[in-house]
Homo-oligomer: A and B are copies of this chain.
Amino acid sequence: MKHKIIIALLLLAAPAIAQVRKEIRFPDPPGYKVLKCDFHMHTVFSDGLVWPTVRVDEAWREGLDAIAITDHVEYRPHKEDVVGNHNRPYELAEGLARHRGILLVRGVEITRDTPPGHFNVLFTQDNQPLDIKDFYEVFERAAAQKTFIMWNHPGWQGPDRGRWGEEQTRLLEKRQLHAIEICNGEEYYGDAHRMAMERGLWLMGSSDIHEPAPTDGQKAAGHRTMTLVLAKEKSLPALREALDAGRTIVWYCDRLIGREPQLKAVFDACLRVESLHPLQAKTTYVKLTNQCDNDIELERSEPGQPRKITIPAQASVMVRLSGPDGQPADKVTYKVSNFLMGVDQPLIVEIAIPKPASQPAAAAAR
């Protein structure tokens, strides 16, 4: 009898399988695929509020390509009711992830007092050996598993507690620290961003989601905080290669934060420029089209007009451009206010203006 019940209940759950994936569109720069990744999230196995498979379902629906479930080793408030070891979240989610084509990275969150703070260990082989008290020994064991290690949310308890400490120095020396989470959910840590740039650590952003993924109406920005990884293909080894090489861009509150080469590559893939027929002589009008799902905000970095341009996601705007001398220009230089190479340091781009087509658009065809 029980057997029949189980089958029936599985059937009832079937509609969930048909759920829709909303694709996130960032055109791929030459040679790379833009993987949408979130490597920090929780389930009922630590202080999260959902079952591990829910994280895969959410990733599918929201257009993510790769995730890691990173439950706390040391903090499990539901442990009276939820038992099972530190590998269980991965084991429970693995089949669904493979099936959906979501890359699932095994990981865990090392949760110590702040400072030194919390650390995500990604690409583990086995999470159980990391459940020990000694701080440095955990990282030795993690390193032995050839993992990728990120310092989580420095500054979430205030800037004082997010300072670079001797622990960080020692981990870095031993190459047991590779990245810093400069954006976590709705928070951005400028100090952490600065540290990452100064010390050559890679930039990461994640949701650190505990509850079910917020519905559209609840989100601060229109998207989840995540890491865009420029990988050579969509596979776990290619993802790992890209992380080791630091080809990451943090997507946070409609901003892209990364290093110049990656930001430039994505910007070039997103923007299309066409000349428009001028209303008067000696004016330059262009149609700027944004082919990605994030607005592009431009601010003039030299004399000339206009001072600011916003190109909404998947839309075009028409702009009258003038050179620094007020004359028509064949190229103009702008800051991309929401593509950041460093703290308060926007990407700078030179936009070439193509010649307008000679065919007058509104002339009658014969």
Docked-complex contact B103 and A361, CB < 8 angstroms: yes
| Complex Cα gap A74–B324 (Å) | 38
With contacts A104-B361, A113-B4, A365-B123 taken as known, whether A217 is within 8 angstroms of B216 at the C-beta atoms is: yes
Is the beta-carbon distance between A362 and B98 smaller than 8 angstroms?
yes
Contact B318 A17 (CB under 8 A): yes
**Surface stretch bound by B, among A30-38, A189-197, A207-215, A248-256:** A207-215
Of B1, B16, B112, B360, which is within 8 A of A211 by CB? B16
How distant is the Cα of A254 from the Cα of B88 in the complex, in angstroms?
41
The proximity string for A residues 259-279 relative to B, scoring 1 for CB distances below 8 Å and 0 otherwise, is 000000000000000101111
Taking CB atoms and an 8 Å cut-off, the chain A residues in 82-117 that contact chain B are 82-84, 88, 92, 94-95, 97-106, 111-114
- Give chain B residues whose Cβ lies under 8 Å from the Cβ of A54: 49-50, 211-212
Contact A98 B360 (CB under 8 A): yes
Pairwise interchain contact B123-A186, C-beta atoms closer than 8 A: no
Closest to A161 in B: B8
Question: How many chain A residues touch the partner (CB < 8 A)?
Answer: 104
Contacts known (A95-B279, A236-B364); A318 close to B100, Cβ less than 8 A: yes
Residue A239, interface by CB 8 Å: yes
Copies in the assembly, this chain: 4
Segment from A136-144, A309-317, A330-338, A346-354 that makes contact with B: A309-317
Known: A81-B88, A123-B364. 14 other contacts (CB 8 A): A21-B316, A50-B50, A50-B54, A61-B218, A98-B360, A98-B362, A101-B287, A102-B361, A125-B364, A235-B357, A235-B359, A236-B359, A236-B362, A236-B365
Could you write out 21 A-B pairs with CB less than 8 Å apart?
Answer: A5-B112, A5-B113, A17-B320, A20-B312, A21-B317, A21-B318, A48-B51, A50-B50, A50-B54, A61-B218, A81-B82, A97-B361, A98-B360, A98-B361, A99-B276, A99-B278, A101-B276, A104-B361, A125-B364, A212-B213, A235-B365
Which 6 pairs show the lowest CB-CB distances between chains A and B? A212-B212, A236-B365, A215-B215, A21-B316, A98-B362, A49-B51
